[in-house]
Structure 1
Amino acid sequence: MNLALIAHDKKKETLIQFVSAYKLIFEKHNLYATYTTGKKIMEATGLSVQFVKSGPLGGDQQIGAMIANNEIDLVIFFRDPLTAQPHEPDVSALLRLCDVYNIPLASNMGTAEVLIHGLERGDFNWRTVLDEQ
């Protein structure tokens, strides 16, 4: 499965810790990330990560385009709800596309825990069936 990993600046360390804790699950999947987040995850975990631009430079839009093209199966986006983001319209558009295309989305640790365990159990195999159509 293709997983997108994104984190606002104040949430990057939390996402790195999350990916590190579940490295054995993440290494079974194709990882895509906005540039700074992906680079930090790759350096911390040794996992292979494909990069798009950083969020403020269009990375959120690139991930959104991948969602619209059925190229992403799950998004983990640790957002910082207490800090204004200059690219907030891009963030909102990305979240909307997850809803439009029924892409599972975690925006915090609690939901990410549920999704990562579901991914390991095979709960998202329905995405594979959709890909084959």
Structure 2
Amino acid sequence: MGSAPKRCRSWPISCRVEGRADSSIAGAAPEPVSAGIGNLPTRLPSFAPLARSAWTGQETSMQTRRRIALIAHDAKKATLTAWARRWEGWLAHQYLVGTGSSAEEVGKACPSLRIERLRSGPEGGDMQVGARIVDGEIDALVFLPDPANAHPHEADFRALIRIALIADIPIALSAASAEHLAIGMSQALPTTSEPVLQDIYVSSNGDRWRLGTAAHRRFVRHEPNQASGGSVTDTDLDHFLGNAGPGPEHVALRRILEVRSDGGA
């Protein structure tokens, strides 16, 4: 197999790798790869809808499998494989990709897992994962870096982390956070579609505004007082903030969101 042609414009997030890459699943021939990070879009797709967990006993279809990327520096590969062994039953129902020896080590430790192997990190594997995140093809990232040593491709994995943050997908950068990621993503779907509501503000005449979360959507619900005879309306959070006036409900909402962003909620 010849080496894949490469075209690079500027670093850190505009390198393109085309042709047939060093990616394969055990027992299958390598697939053609064409992935580019390019200029990041202003709005990236959120991670895929939640699937049923493996422990429910229900088979997970290919369309609802989580697409999880696994990466670990050499000093952290044992940590990654230990995590994969603990969660092998659940991971076996997901679609996994990994860079270089990370995919190889996890595959050896967990024979039941099928892992698409990309290039190693120094050979562009981090950029391949980043390109898939940009294209909405990765739902979560487990990346265990080694902070104690310098790495020649540090700019690559810093760009990868930045892309994952912009895409707003679940990210685990330590063993503890990887454990929480697996616990959270392995939960079964809720049996109710009712949104979770949090009070924002209640006016003196009884009008109520509430922050709602449902199916990865956030909105503001306005419940008018009974005497007004009005109906309940839901407004997307971005639209509500984009048309925000000086009303006390807007001020109260901003305070709630600031507390959440600071880790207080």
TM-score, normalising length: structure 2: 0.46
Q: Percent identity?
A: 36
Q: Secondary structure at the match of 2:179?
A: helix
The runs of at least 4 consecutive aligned structure 1 residues that moved more than 2 Å come to: none
Question: 2:260 — aligned with what?
Answer: none
Aligned ranges for residues 31-110 of structure 1 at < 5 Å? 31-46=96-111, 47-110=113-176
SS in 2 for 1:103: coil
Counterpart of 1:16 in structure 2 is: 81
RMSD: 1.2
User: Does residue 113 of structure 1 match 2:179?
Assistant: yes
CA positional deviation for 1:122: 4.5
Length, aligned pairs only: 125
1:30 aligns with 2:78: no
Q: What is the Cα deviation at residue 25 of structure 1?
A: 1.1
Measure how far apart 1:103 and its partner are.
1.1
Equivalent position amino acid for 2:146 in 1: D
TM superposition score normalised by structure 1: 0.91
More strand by share: 2
The aligned counterpart of 1:130 is: none
> Is there any run of 5+ residues in structure 1 with no aligned partner, and where?
127-133
Task: Supply the distance in 1 between the matched residues of 2:147 and 2:187 (Cα, whole angstroms).
Answer: 30
Q: Distance in 2 between matches of 1:122 and 1:67?
A: 24
Q: Give the deviation of 1:20 after TM superposition.
A: 0.5
Q: Which has the larger radius of gyration?
A: 2
In structure 2, runs of 5+ residues without a counterpart are: 1-65, 190-214, 217-265
Counterpart Cα distance in 1 of 2:86 and 2:181 = 14
1:6 matched to 2:71: yes
- The Cα of 1:110 is off from its aligned counterpart by 0.9
Task: Deviation per CA, 1:74-118: give whole Å up to 9, x if none.
Answer: 000011011111100001100000111101110101111111000
Flag the structure with more relative contact order, 1 or 2, with Cα contacts below 8 A and sequence separation at least 6.
1
